[in-house]
């Protein structure tokens, strides 16, 4: 049997479960996933290896109405990633009705001319699946449709098998042991950002970014990490630090627990908070933080 390989882009509006699905399919956490919309800000590659195929899954930021340059770049990342895929999975949340953002994504898929499958997620929250899928199927002419639950891991095997069947013949794109293309610093910064998303509310989670300033293995059993959380206003800085430094300690404690599990040894996490006014609207910051996608 000829070897098959290719790219599947996971596109959809925010919060439908794209990153949860990516992690479930890989069996390991490569992308952070939280109950807050606009969690993912980058293109995140996850690689599924099979004896006769390599399925490259690409998670993208949720397509939304952007209010900052950051949001525009996130939408652009989703658009550019979709243009390069062999198959598009339009992920939707079956427990909700389609909205304008779902329509934007469907239009983007339609315009790309790339085969697009409707992947209806969160089926575990829905009683009458059939009654719910009609309005979604009407968004565009999908090549195929699947009902899944990323959290309960139902319908996933069928989805992957179908994708592998549909892949073009070709050599693998990535080496066999590789699960993701993201750097260690990126992963570390995302874990910290995830904790901020979990612990803060309103504008704060959206106004932050995390920069890993230093990461060294000080001893065989200890990694030292110094990271800065950027905020846009001093008021947000005060919230992130919290009374008596309690919030920052909480963020650090949770992030450290995850990072120690990841490294398999002790982590010393040195967290700082800095105000950088309106960084979300500044090209230079977006570039430095890795939020500006390249054209290919
Ligand atoms: N009940 C249920 N919840 C789900 C399912 N899949 C994802 N979720 C939840 O939906 C929320 C959003 O999940 P994410 O994976 O972060 O969604 P996303 O599409 O990546 O969101 P953005 O990165 O913001 O675009 C999280 O709280 C998930 O736990 C599912 O199959 N069932
Ligand atoms: Mg996501």
Residue 59 has pLDDT above 60, yes or no: yes
The rounded percent of the chain whose pLDDT value lies above 90 is 99
Distance 87 CA to ligand 1 centre (A): 21
Rounded Cα gap, residues 158 and 88, in angstroms: 16
Q: Which CATH number fits domain 4-166: 3.30.930.10, 3.30.9.10, 3.40.50.300, 3.40.190.10?
A: 3.40.50.300
Q: Give residue-wise pLDDT tens across range 112-130.
A: 999 999 999 999 999 999 9
Helix or strand (DSSP H, E) at 187: helix 184-199
The whole-number pLDDT of residue 294 equals 83
For ligand 1, mutation pick of 33, 36, 146 (most atoms within 8 Å of CB): 33
Q: Give residue-wise pLDDT tens across range 132-149.
A: 999 999 999 999 999 999
Q: Say if CB 165 and CB 139 are below 8 A apart.
A: no
Which class does domain 184-288 fall in? alpha beta
Rounded Cα gap, residues 14 and 93, in angstroms: 10
Q: Give residue-wise pLDDT tens across range 166-198.
A: 999 999 999 999 999 999 999 999 999 999 999
Query: What is the value of pTM for the model shown?
Result: 0.98
Residue 226 has pLDDT above 80, yes or no: yes
- Going by alpha carbons, the residue nearest to atom 16 of ligand 1 is 33
Domain ranges of the chain: 4-166, 184-288
Distance 249 CA to ligand 1 centre (A): 27
Task: Quote the tokens at residue 135.
Answer: 């309005």
The whole-number pLDDT of residue 1 equals 78
User: Which ligand has its closest atom nearest to the C-alpha of 89?
Assistant: 1
Average pLDDT, the chain: 97
The whole-number pLDDT of residue 271 equals 98
Rounded Cα gap, residues 148 and 217, in angstroms: 41
- Going by alpha carbons, the residue nearest to atom 1 of ligand 1 is 122
The rounded percent of the chain whose pLDDT value lies above 70 is 99
Mean pLDDT confidence for 219-226: 98
- φ, ψ dihedrals at 35, nearest 5°: -70, -10
Residue 209 has pLDDT above 60, yes or no: yes
β 44-50/53-59 pair status: antiparallel
Q: List the one residue out of 180, 278, 181, 184 whose CA is nearest residue 223.
A: 184
Mean pLDDT confidence for 62-78: 98
The whole-number pLDDT of residue 296 equals 52
């Amino acid at each position: 049997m000829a070897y098959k390989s290719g790219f599947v882009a996971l596109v959809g509006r925010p919060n439908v479960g794209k990153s949860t699905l990516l992690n479930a399919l890989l069996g390991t956490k490569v992308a952070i996933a939280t109950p807050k919309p606009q969690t993912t800000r980058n293109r995140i590659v996850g690689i599924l290896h099979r004896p006769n195929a390599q399925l490259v899954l690409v998670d993208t930021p949720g397509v939304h109405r952007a209010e900052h340059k950051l949001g525009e770049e996130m939408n652009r990342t989703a658009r550019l990633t979709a243009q390069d895929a062999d198959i598009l999975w339009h992920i939707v949340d079956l427990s909700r009705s389609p909205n304008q953002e779902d329509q934007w994504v469907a239009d983007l898929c339609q315009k790309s001319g790339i085969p697009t499958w409707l992947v209806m997620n969160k089926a575990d929250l829905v009683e009458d699946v059939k009654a719910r899928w009609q309005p979604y199927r009407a968004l565009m002419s999908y090549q195929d449709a699947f009902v899944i639950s990323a959290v309960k891991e139902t319908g996933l095997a069928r989805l992957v098998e179908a994708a592998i069947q549909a892949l073009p013949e070709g050599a693998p794109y990535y080496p066999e042991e590789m699960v993701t293309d993201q750097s260690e610093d990126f992963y570390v910064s995302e874990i910290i950002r995830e904790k901020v998303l979990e612990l803060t509310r309103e504008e704060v989670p959206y106004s932050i970014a995390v920069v890993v300033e230093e990461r060294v293995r000080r001893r065989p059993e200890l990694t030292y990490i110094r990271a800065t959380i950027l905020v846009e206003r001093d008021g947000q800085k005060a919230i992130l630090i919290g009374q008596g430094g309690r919030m920052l300690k909480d963020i650090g404690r949770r992030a450290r627990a995850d990072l120690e599990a990841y490294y398999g040894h002790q982590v010393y996490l040195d967290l700082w908070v800095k105000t950088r006014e309106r960084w979300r609207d500044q090209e230079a910051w977006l570039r430095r933080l890795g939020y500006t996608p390249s054209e290919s």
